[in-house]
């Protein structure tokens, strides 16, 4: 029996950006059945799954000839997963098993889609029963009930079996507990187990020692409240001994109220550098409604104790909680700023998650919300959609940074021969993704498509199942090719309706035609990127006009105008200031590589504050991204001697 396990990433723009799509749940399933005879379980690598378009994923799965395909489903990938399930079923008699947080009794999304088994709750014991034949085909199409929780106390980290790829995100994620001590009504996590279960300290340390031996620089502990672990101080002492040279930076989630100076010092000694901390609101009445007891005085003191020991904090606020108001939410933002707790703040619209108590009581509270992921609240009796947008904008202004940034600018479209005496440049094969060359049997995967010259040169050139996720379409053909462009976009997006894309048009003087191209897209809408922040919408596709005109011609949500810098000199700081009213700058000239690199070294700390900058040459663009976003991108499977991957192809 051959089983393929898949976990799709959070959709995003910017190819090669790290996705954090670590399939830890699927790898735990594989561990649970590792010793079963006659069974072959393959976990599709993050380095493939996270960067392949819809059609390419279907082809990849089918060419492996599976009997069973298992998907881990979250709010951000459930609709795309169901689309892939339907495509797989239409082409092969394969059994589809779905598990993960989205599988709850009250989630109707699965109705009408071609799948066989749904696993509610923890998956290891269910998976063992499925494989052993106790849940054979006679129950096809029926929802499977939650089985008894897995014996987590004997779980060995799946990293030790080399099923995961820590070099992609340069980190390990590690569970040291299951269950949650809190009963917040907006969360489903506390329903997974009736009591807390902790991984024994020797298994925790064994995993950390492995990470240290592999040169992994960061470990994120997945626990919802690390501070409740009964043997916390002993575990921290053991971690401190293993991590005595501070090679590993640790992160996790905690409740700040329980962090005194002694505990904060122990965290720092072990190598913890950051915690995510949920406040959600500073209004105690609002918190009481969602069963989130909080002592604000102790919260502030705990944050300050962590800061005292140089541990960063990222505080979460939820927008749209029952009973909260625009002014009330703004007071929560003010509270963090005034008490020096706003080092980093994340703000999320309230999500009415399937299975959560708050979703069940949404009618009682008068909450209007999206019936599709991410289930964001749209309006409450005390906060309109306009109120939420104003509150969000207030938070950005008060905190002094953008909470919903636009995609990074990367409109590089050509490569060059590195042999200096040749001096040749070109556009052939520039979209070819090196580390995915062997993924599909019938050709490479492309992240960049060039439409240049007569339509006959590019029409139907690249099969729809050879596209990356996301991908870019570069249009150098003029407006007279509009009908051919429209047909090509219909074809590509029709085969990849859940794959984000960017359409980049060069020197068109009719911006209305660029906007009209959006009507040709066959994306399934709205999808997760459109609904993630309900104030904006239409975020699955980016439209970029690259123009030599420096006055504003084109703009709007996910629509940007970039100045095409073709002068045979590099821009000065005054040039960047002069053009900052536009959305970006593309440097596209024939200045020497040495001059380009010197400019990048000088301006990497200055330019991002003024205007987004991109380079036409792909190699120059990659170096630029490594300078301005050193921890956010991954460019290939090149490994160093320690086995940990590094950027660069």
Q: How many residues does the chain have?
A: 649
DSSP 401-456: S-SSPPPPP----BEE-S-TTT--EE-TTTTB-GGGTTTSTTS--EEEEEE-SSGG
Burial classification of residue 594, based on how many CB atoms lie within 10 Å of its CB (0-12 exposed, 13-18 middle, 19 or more buried): exposed
- Please write down the long-range contacts of 333-336, taking CB distance under 8 Å and 24 or more positions apart: 333/394, 333/395, 333/398, 333/399, 334/398, 335/282, 335/296, 336/279, 336/282
How high is the pLDDT of residue 416? 63
CB 251 within 8 A of CB 272: yes
How high is the pLDDT of residue 125? 86
At residue 11's C-alpha, the angle toward residues 5 and 17, to 5°, is: 95
Report residue 639's pLDDT band, with 50, 70 and 90 as the boundaries. Answer: very low
**CA separation for the pair 69, 73 (Å, rounded):** 13
Residue 385 has pLDDT above 70, yes or no: yes
Q: Which two tokens stand for residue 426?
A: 């070109």
Q: Quick: pLDDT tens for 603-627.
A: 999 999 999 999 999 999 999 999 9
Residue 26 has pLDDT above 70, yes or no: yes
Mean pLDDT (whole number) for 435-456: 90
How high is the pLDDT of residue 457? 86
How high is the pLDDT of residue 136? 46
The residue among 249 and 130 whose pLDDT is bigger is: 249
- Which of 372, 407, 354 has its CA nearest to residue 527? 372
Helix, strand or coil, per DSSP, at residue 244: coil
Mean pLDDT (whole number) for 138-159: 61
Percentage of the chain exceeding pLDDT 90:
75
Report residue 140's pLDDT band, with 50, 70 and 90 as the boundaries. Answer: very low
Report residue 192's pLDDT band, with 50, 70 and 90 as the boundaries. Answer: low
- Which of 488, 426, 434 has its CA nearest to residue 461? 488
CB 67 within 8 A of CB 43: no
Q: Quick: pLDDT tens for 29-78.
A: 999 888 888 899 999 999 999 999 999 999 999 999 999 999 999 999 99
Q: Say which range, 197-211, 410-424, 517-531, has the weakest mean pLDDT.
A: 410-424
How high is the pLDDT of residue 417? 47
- Which of 413, 424, 425 has its CA nearest to residue 450? 413
**Number of C-beta neighbours around residue 518 at 10 A:** 15
**CA separation for the pair 18, 532 (Å, rounded):** 19
Q: Quick: pLDDT tens for 419-443.
A: 333 343 444 456 778 888 889 988 8
Report residue 195's pLDDT band, with 50, 70 and 90 as the boundaries. Answer: confident
**CA separation for the pair 75, 528 (Å, rounded):** 8
Write down the mean pLDDT value for the chain: 90
Report residue 634's pLDDT band, with 50, 70 and 90 as the boundaries. Answer: confident
Report residue 157's pLDDT band, with 50, 70 and 90 as the boundaries. Answer: confident
DSSP bridge pairs for 473: 449, 503
Q: Which two tokens stand for residue 351?
A: 């999500």
Ranges 94-108, 573-587, 633-647, most confident: 573-587
How high is the pLDDT of residue 535? 77
Q: Going from the N-terminus, what domains does the chain have, and what CATH number goes with each?
A: 2-144 (3.40.50.280), 156-399 (3.20.20.70), 415-628 (3.20.20)
Q: Which residue has the tokens 């950027």?
A: 647
**Number of C-beta neighbours around residue 437 at 10 A:** 11
How high is the pLDDT of residue 124? 87
Residue 142 has pLDDT above 50, yes or no: no
**CA separation for the pair 82, 162 (Å, rounded):** 29
**CA separation for the pair 556, 544 (Å, rounded):** 10
Burial classification of residue 91, based on how many CB atoms lie within 10 Å of its CB (0-12 exposed, 13-18 middle, 19 or more buried): exposed
**Number of C-beta neighbours around residue 573 at 10 A:** 12
Flag whether the pTM goes above 0.85: yes
CB 541 within 8 A of CB 24: no
**CA separation for the pair 78, 208 (Å, rounded):** 32
DSSP bridge pairs for 311: none
């Amino acid at each position: 029996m051959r089983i393929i396990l898949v976990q799709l990433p959070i959709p995003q723009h910017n190819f090669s950006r790290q996705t954090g799509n670590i399939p830890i749940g699927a790898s735990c399933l594989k561990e649970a059945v590792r010793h079963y005879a006659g069974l072959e379980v393959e976990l599709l690598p993050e380095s493939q799954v996270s960067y392949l378009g819809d059609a390419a994923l279907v082809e990849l799965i089918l060419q492996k000839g599976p009997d069973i395909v298992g998907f881990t489903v979250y709010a951000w990938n459930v609709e795309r997963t169901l689309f892939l399930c339907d495509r797989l079923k239409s082409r092969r008699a394969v059994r589809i098993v779905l598990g993960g947080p989205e599988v709850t009794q009250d989630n109707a999304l699965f109705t009408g889609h071609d799948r066989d088994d749904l696993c509610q709750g923890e998956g290891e014991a269910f998976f063992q029963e499925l494989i052993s034949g106790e849940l054979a085909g006679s129950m096809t199409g029926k929802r499977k009930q939650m089985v008894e929780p897995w014996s987590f106390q004997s779980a060995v980290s799946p990293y030790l079996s080399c099923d995961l790829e820590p070099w992609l995100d340069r980190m390990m994620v590690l569970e040291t507990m299951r269950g949650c001590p809190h009963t917040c009504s907006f969360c489903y996590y506390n329903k997974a187990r009736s009591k807390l279960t902790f991984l024994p300290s020797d298994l925790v340390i064994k995993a950390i020692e492995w990470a240290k031996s592999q040169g992994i620089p960061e470990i994120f502990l997945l626990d919802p409240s690390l501070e409740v672990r009964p043997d916390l101080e002993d575990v921290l002492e053991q971690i401190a001994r293993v991590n005595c040279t501070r090679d590993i930076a640790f992160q996790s989630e905690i409740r700040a109220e329980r962090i005194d100076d002694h505990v904060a010092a122990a965290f720092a000694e072990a190598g913890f550098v950051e915690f995510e901390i949920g406040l959600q609101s500073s209004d105690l009445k609002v918190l009481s409604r969602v069963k989130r007891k909080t002592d604000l005085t102790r919260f502030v003191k705990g944050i300050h104790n962590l800061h005292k020991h140089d541990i960063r904090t990222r505080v979460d606020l939820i927008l749209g909680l029952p009973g909260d108001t625009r002014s009330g939410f703004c007071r929560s933002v003010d509270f963090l700023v005034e008490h020096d707790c706003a080092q980093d703040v994340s703000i999320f619209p309230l999500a009415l998650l399937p299975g959560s108590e708050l979703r069940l009581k949404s009618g009682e509270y008068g909450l209007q919300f999206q019936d599709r992921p991410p289930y964001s609240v749209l309006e409450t009796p005390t906060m309109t959609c306009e109120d939420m947008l104003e509150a969000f904008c207030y938070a950005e202004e008060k905190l002094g940074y953008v909470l919903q940034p636009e995609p990074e600018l990367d409109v590089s479209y050509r490569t060059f021969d590195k042999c200096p005496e040749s001096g040749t440049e070109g556009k052939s094969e520039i979209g070819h993704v090196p580390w995915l060359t062997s993924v599909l049997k019938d050709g490479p995967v492309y992240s960049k498509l060039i439409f240049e010259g007569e339509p006959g040169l590019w029409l139907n050139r690249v099969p729809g199942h050879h596209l990356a996720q996301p991908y870019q379409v570069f249009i150098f053909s003029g407006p007279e090719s509009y009908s051919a462009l429209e047909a090509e976009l219909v074809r590509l997006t029709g085969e990849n309706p859940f794959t984000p894309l960017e359409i980049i048009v060069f020197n068109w003087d009719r911006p209305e035609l660029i906007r009209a191209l959006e009507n040709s897209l066959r994306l399934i809408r709205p999808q997760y990127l459109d609904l993630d922040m309900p104030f904006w919408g239409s975020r699955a596709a980016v439209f970029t006009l690259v123009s030599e005109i420096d006055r504003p011609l084109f703009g709007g949500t996910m629509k940007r105008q970039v100045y095409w810098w073709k002068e045979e000199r590099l821009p000065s700081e005054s040039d960047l200031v002069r053009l900052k009213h536009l959305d970006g700058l593309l440097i596209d000239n024939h200045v020497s590589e040495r001059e380009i690199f010197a400019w990048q070294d000088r301006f990497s700390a200055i330019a991002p504050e003024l205007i987004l900058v991109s380079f036409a040459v792909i190699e120059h663009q990659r170096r630029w991204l490594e300078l301005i976003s050193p921890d956010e991108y991954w460019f290939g499977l090149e490994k160093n001697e320690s086995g940990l991957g590094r950027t660069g192809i």
